[in-house]
Structure 1
Amino acid sequence: MRITAAADGSALGNPGPMGWAWYIDDERWAAGGAPHGTNNQGELQAVLELLRATAPANLPLLIECDSRYVIDSVTKWMPGWKRKGWRKADGKPVLNREILEAIDEEMQGRDVVFSWVKGHAGHPLNEAADERANAAAQAYQRRAEPRRGPGFPSTNPAPSAAPAPSAAVSPAPSAAPAPAGLWDDDALFAAEAEPVELRVRLAPEELARLRSRANAWGLTPEDALRRLI
């Protein structure tokens, strides 16, 4: 069974308050954005978040986009960019490389095809994604929380009653050994009684991916980590 979904982005002012959204149906959609971004970044982020959300289901995916830039970047130009060290034919760096690299990573082993649809032309899924992406951009313009949607059901974990531990994130060229006893049963059960400070050492590329996801959600890296737990 192939899932059909639309992915769309919106940037007020381009660049300006940015929103992204993907939409399958009224029970399966998500939206987010950032205080500042471009329309292309929103379009790409929508595809990335759709890939991430549907990854656990590992079903064939058809992505409808009204952006030829997104489709051509992923299906035509990316292999050449990778061979050239993420540089274009003129030698200039590829724009939005961080998001494109993340999309490339998420597509590995997936059955994903893209279909171009004309925007604002009555395509139901595209119209629904566009509406939600624009609403998210408007929410960031108002400095309000956007409607984030239900997501993809298989990726929504049950809420935990335990308080979320705080996390301090710092880049590191190599991983350091965990403090003695960090993963002992006593330490884990202690989290149920009071918050635990957890320090995560990340390589620069890991921190970049975390910041990219946090920026798309409009969160700090620490809050993005909490959302992933």
Structure 2
Amino acid sequence: MTIIAAADGSALGNPGPAGWAWYVDDDCWHAGGWKESTNNRGELMAVLDLLDSTAGVDEDLKVFCDSKYVINALTKWMPGWKRKGWKKADGKEVLNKDLLERLDTALTGREIEFEWVKGHNNHAMNEAADERARAAATAYQKNTSVPAGPGYVPAGTSESITAPAAPSAESDSAAAATTVVSCTVPTHIADELVSRAQAQGIHPQEFLAEIIGRSLENE
């Protein structure tokens, strides 16, 4: 089988409050962002998080993107940039090098098909990803809770929780150090995690990250 997803980024000001999101369906999507970043970083991060979230899944992946920059960077330009030490033809360092290096690693060994779609042109999956990326950017702009979504939910399973390895980052540089970890748990455990997170007024992802952090500190 092939996982089919759309990935998109959004920035309110470019740079400004920014968001990213990938979308498979209403039960399988993930979003995040930063207080200040660019649209291109959002576009790249959406693909990176999608790759990280599906890293343990033995299926091919097809990604719809409305960013030719992302598609060209990952399928055409990256080999040349790497040969030149992540430098462009003018000798200057490639923009967004940190994310591109992580994407290079995440793409290794994966069968990925990228397809460009025109943004805001009634492509249902692209529109869904765009709406979620913009909602994340708006949440950072208004300093409200980010609608992060359920994460990757493998087909045929009851629940999956995709959680950052650390609490939500407040800056672009801190977010770049975030690693996504996916695990599948029984529905009653997932429901309990959601219930406890809601009682504390935080997202289940952040609640799970805190549990993991406390467990590591106590080792």
TM-score of the alignment, normalized to the shorter chain, above 0.5: yes
Residue 113 of structure 1 deviates from its aligned partner by: 1.1
Backbone CA RMSD of aligned residues: 3.0
Match of 2:147 in 1: 147
The 1-side partners of 2:31 and 2:44 are apart by: 13
Residue 145 of structure 1 deviates from its aligned partner by: 1.7
The 1-side partners of 2:110 and 2:173 are apart by: 20
CA gap 1:91/1:225 in 2 versus in 1, 3 angstroms: farther
The 1-side partners of 2:88 and 2:100 are apart by: 13
Secondary structure (helix, strand or coil) at the match of 2:53 reads helix
Residue 118 of structure 1 deviates from its aligned partner by: 0.1
Secondary structure (helix, strand or coil) at the match of 2:120 reads coil
The 2-side partners of 1:149 and 1:157 are apart by: 10
Aligned ranges for residues 46-195 of structure 1 at < 5 Å? 46-154=46-154, 156=160
Secondary structure (helix, strand or coil) at the match of 1:153 reads coil
The 2-side partners of 1:56 and 1:11 are apart by: 30
Query: Which residue identity is paired with 2:111?
Result: D
Percent identity for Structure 1 against Structure 2? 54
Count of aligned positions: 178
Unaligned 5+ runs, structure 1? 160-165, 167-207
CA gap 1:69/1:225 in 2 versus in 1, 3 angstroms: farther
1:213–1:224 contact (8 Å) kept in structure 2: no
The 2-side partners of 1:97 and 1:71 are apart by: 15
Match of 2:176 in 1: 212
Secondary structure (helix, strand or coil) at the match of 1:121 reads coil
Query: Which residue identity is paired with 1:7?
Result: A
* TM-score in terms of structure 1 length: 0.71
Unaligned 5+ runs, structure 2? 167-171, 181-205
* TM-score in terms of structure 2 length: 0.74
The 2-side partners of 1:96 and 1:223 are apart by: 29
The 1-side partners of 2:35 and 2:116 are apart by: 27
Query: Which residue identity is paired with 2:79?
Result: P
Secondary structure (helix, strand or coil) at the match of 1:119 reads coil
